[in-house]
Amino acid sequence: MKKNISLIFCVVFLLSVGAVRAQTEFSYAKAYQDYEYNLSQYNSAYENYKLAREQYLQFKTITAKDEAKAKTLTMLQTRDNTVKTYLTALRMKIKETDGIPNAEEEALYNRIDPEVKWYTDHKGRLESAGSLEDLVTDSDEAKDHYTFTNLLIYDSLINILSGKTANLRSVITANIVDLKTIIAIIRQNQDKDVSLMERSLPDIENKLARSQDKEDEALKSNSPKTFSQSQSLIQDSYLYLKEANTYLLEIVRQIKSK
Amino acid sequence: MKNLINKVVVFVSPYISKIQAYYFSLSPKLKKLLIIAGGMLGLLLAMLIIALVVKSISNRPVKRVVLPTPAVTALPTPVELTNPSKYATDSAVLKLEENLKDNENKLNNLDIKESNLYPPQLDFEINFPL
């Protein structure tokens, strides 16, 4: 009896370790891989659907209609799966991107999770469709809902992009603090002229401020229609960061030279 | 061979004598004109032959000497300070420099577009017109 209990305990322990490991191993890379696989499934199902649809519209037979129904069902299921896995990949990317404020991150999760559930439920409902017409109605339902999903997608994307620049800006800001400390020490030692370096620091800080402004603007005007505009604002923000970092390196070089 | 030449001469000679007779019967003015036209035709033919020869020479494949490509070896290019200050070896300065270089690498490798994350192209216009 004791032997059996210890055996059960061991099995439960091993299973739980495995489950925990599987959970911790789930990353953006894995989520993206899932999405890519589902997208390829959708593309293949879509081709089959197109062919079955053409045949049905041409011959209008019951067999062709049944075939069209079957292919439409598969296509709609893979389409729901694609959106679901894409949203999951987006969620994982948000999770792995440093620089997105926690509140924003949580707000995005709170919007993504119900969306994933919606597509899971929608996919589950598809199987019960009695006719091709019912499937078309189900598809229209997803079409209407996707307008809402699309807003969330672009909102998430711009937050991911701005998170990247925000993260680097905070690192550079910390570097400026370190540099100011070093310059203060050199000034105290009075063995090197640091006036030029001190004068150039506000310029660098202005670059960081401009980078922040561009990022804020990008986040403000975000929508699927203005995405490319927001993207170019993030690009500008990134260029300001690059310039600021180059200037900082130049100051360090000056410190290291006589 | 001699027989063949003789046969050709026998075949051609009546035509030549006919042409000669025709030529001698022409007026001196026409003879001049004929000579000029013949000369021009000859010149044109010569130019055509020269052009063909030049073309065939230029089209001939040129043998290229394949030089071995030197293997590219990535050498670090340290920026040497010609006149280092006393802070050139300061640990805080070196640490900051390292951090800034790390930023530079991150900035250079940053995927600022994330184009692989753009939404998938899905067809939501599903209909069966009856």
| Sequence spans of domains, chain B | 2-59
**Which domain does A53 fall in, by range?**
24-128
The model's pTM is 0.72
pLDDT (0 to 100) of residue B63: 44
Kindly report the average pLDDT of chain B as a whole number: 79
Residue A144 lies in a domain: no
Q: Tell me, yes or no, if A214 comes closer than 8 A to chain B by beta carbon.
A: no
Last residue of a domain, one of A102, A128, A154: A128
User: Is residue A124 domain-shared with residue A39, that is, in the same domain?
Assistant: yes
Residue A12 lies in a domain: no
* Residue that has been written with the tokens 């670059």 in this structure: A207
Number of domains observed in the structure of chain A: 2
Domain membership flag for residue A58: yes
Residues A173 and A106 in one domain: no
Q: Is residue A207 part of a domain?
A: yes
B66: confidence class by pLDDT, cuts 50, 70, 90: very low
> Tell me: the pLDDT tens digits for A123-166?
999 999 999 999 999 999 999 999 999 999 999 999 999 999 99
Cβ-based neighbours of A46, under 8 Å, separated by 6 or more = A75, A78, A79, B123
Residue type, A204: I
Q: Do A168 and B92 touch (CB under 8 A)?
A: no
Angle at B77 between CA B71 and CA B80, to 5 degrees: 155
pLDDT digit string, tens, across residues A154-207: 999 999 999 999 999 999 999 999 999 999 999 999 989 999 999 999 999 999
* Residue from A147, A109, A71 nearest B126 by CA: A71
ipTM: 0.82
One domain for residues A32 and A108: yes
Alpha carbons A213 and A234: distance in angstroms, whole number: 10
A124 and A32 part of one domain: yes
The fraction of chain A above a pLDDT of 90, given in percent, is 86
One domain, residues A117 and A190: no
pLDDT given at position B30: 81
Q: Do B103 and A172 touch (CB under 8 A)?
A: yes
Distance (Å) of CA A174 to CA A91, A170, A200, B96, B110: 28, 6, 17, 10, 19
Q: Which residues of B touch A (CB under 8 A)?
A: 79, 81-88, 90, 92-93, 95-97, 99-101, 103-104, 106-107, 110, 112-114, 116-120, 122-129
Q: What phi and psi, each to the nearest 5 degrees, are found at residue B19? A: -65, -45
Structure tokens at A248: 């900082």
- Domain boundary (A112, A128, A144) is at A128
Report whether pLDDT(B71) > 70: no
- Among partner residues B83, B101, B110, which is closest to A258 by beta-carbon distance? B83
- Of A74-83, B28-37, B43-52, the range with the highest mean pLDDT is A74-83
Please tell me whether residues A169 and A117 are part of one structural domain.
Answer: no
- Would residue A135 count as lying in a domain? no
- Interface size between A and B, measured as CB pairs under 8 A: 123
Same domain, A240 and A192: yes
CA-CA distance, A9 to A2, in Å (whole number)?
Answer: 11
Distance CA B89, CA B91 (A): 6
B101–A161 C-beta distance less than 8 A: no
Asked if B93 and A252 come within 8 Å (Cβ–Cβ), the reply is yes
